[in-house]
Structure 1
Amino acid sequence: MGEKSNSRDLIVETAARLFFSQGYHATGLSQIIKESDTPKGSLYHYFPNGKEELAYVCIEKTNEHVLEKFKAVFEQHQTTGDAIQAFIRDMADDTEKSGFTGFLPFSFWAAVETSCISNKLRSACQDVFTDWQEVIADRLQQEGALEVRAKEAALLMISMMEGALIISLTNQSKQPMLTAADYLSAMMKTAVLTK
């Protein structure tokens, strides 16, 4: 049983890394099988509907991973602003350590590349962004922000974080993410104070 679930996990991890590093269209199932070092039958057993189903699972798994990271960072910091700043700074450090080529959670690959080819994948990406916004907005509301203001701040935070990640990867510098972290921290604090 453990060996079977291990094969599935290897396939998902490999696919997510390849989708991120080279794109959905450029990643073939044969490459995923080869790089995950799993039998061809395993991929088709776990993902009988092929690449789209596999991408969908990658998006769901990544969402779970990021939501866990948000939860952990919120538990470690008293304010949303401090938590978001730490979250983005950690992501910037991880990005730099990977040489700007390693797998980063979610990022723009799934939303941009798959949303125009598959309504199922577009909907999954939409759910990811909605989940992230809700987690942040809920935390801001716990600190006293008005619901509308909290939702707006959360949307802006996700947009800026994703944009800074794209620029950091393009420039191969973590500075855009660090700048976003500092500004977003201040903005989150303002969202709580604004009534």
Structure 2
Amino acid sequence: MDTKSMMIDIAKNLFQQKGYIGVGLTEILKAGNFSKGSLYHHFPNGKEELLIACLQSMSEGMTNDIEDIFERYPTTEEAATAMINKLIANFESEGTISAYTFSSIISEMALLSEPVRNACSNLYIKMQRIYLNKLVADGISEESANSIAVMMTASLEGAILLCLTQKTSEPLKIILDVLPTLLNFKWKQ
């Protein structure tokens, strides 16, 4: 793995654990045994540019994982169920789901930095597009599918935060129970 990729991986883990404000450049440099010159060589604009690279890396990993799951299952309900079960299993075995959420970063930085806000927005848009496409393939109108996709994204992100703060997978299990009702509701066609 090259130095830039290692910096992104180390910073991504630290940002997810401690938030953007809670991690200083010195900590990132020390964790990877990087020089300050090396950091600024790869990220001339410093910590914020590194954060954006981390968000793009997270986006790629998350959307690839979601796309893989949604391609393996014939319906939105089956795909979403598989995805939520994976999140529950991750939480119950590791005690966290940090690889699937970046809300702490958004809450810290989205109002302070337009580039960071855009990077976060792009990830949510990609996630919603995956859900929307599967819902349309299930025969739901694009307008209704868009509304459901937004609701799914918001519900899952909120449930992940609740799991982390309450130290229980119960919020994801509740979404898993409610999801079939939502998806089988007679949406306007």
Q: TM-score, normalised by structure 1?
A: 0.89
- Amino acid paired to 2:169: K
CA contact (8 A) 2:101 2:157 kept: no
Task: Give 2:2's aligned residue.
Answer: 6
- Amino acid paired to 2:164: L
Task: Give 1:142's aligned residue.
Answer: 137
1:104 partner SS: helix
Single out whichever of 15-24 and 159-168 deviates more from structure 2.
15-24
Q: Equivalents in 2 of 1:61, 1:165: separation in Å? A: 19
Task: Give 1:19's aligned residue.
Answer: 15
Aligned residues: CA RMSD: 1.7
Q: Equivalents in 2 of 1:72, 1:62: separation in Å? A: 15
CA contact (8 A) 1:111 1:122 kept: yes
Task: Give 2:67's aligned residue.
Answer: 71
Q: Equivalents in 2 of 1:132, 1:7: separation in Å? A: 29
- Amino acid paired to 2:40: Y
Unaligned 5+ runs, structure 2: none
CA contact (8 A) 1:82 1:185 kept: no
Deviations 1:97-140 (A, max 9, x none): 2223x632333123222101101111111111111111110111
Q: Give the alignment partner of residue 174 of structure 1, picking from 169, 174, 185.
A: 169
- 1:125 matches 2:115: no
Task: Give 2:46's aligned residue.
Answer: 50
Q: Equivalents in 2 of 1:122, 1:93: separation in Å? A: 30
- Amino acid paired to 2:116: L
CA contact (8 A) 1:63 1:106 kept: no
- Amino acid paired to 2:139: G
CA contact (8 A) 1:81 1:187 kept: no
Q: TM-score, normalised by structure 2?
A: 0.92
- How many residue pairs end up in the alignment? 189
* Fraction of identical pairs, as percent: 29
Unaligned 5+ runs, structure 1: none
Q: Equivalents in 2 of 1:159, 1:126: separation in Å? A: 12
Q: Equivalents in 1 of 2:172, 2:54: separation in Å? A: 24
Q: Do the aligned partners of residues 69 and 185 (structure 1) sit closer, same or farther apart at CA in structure 2, a change above 3 Å counting?
A: farther
- Amino acid paired to 1:78: P
Q: Equivalents in 1 of 2:62, 2:151: separation in Å? A: 17
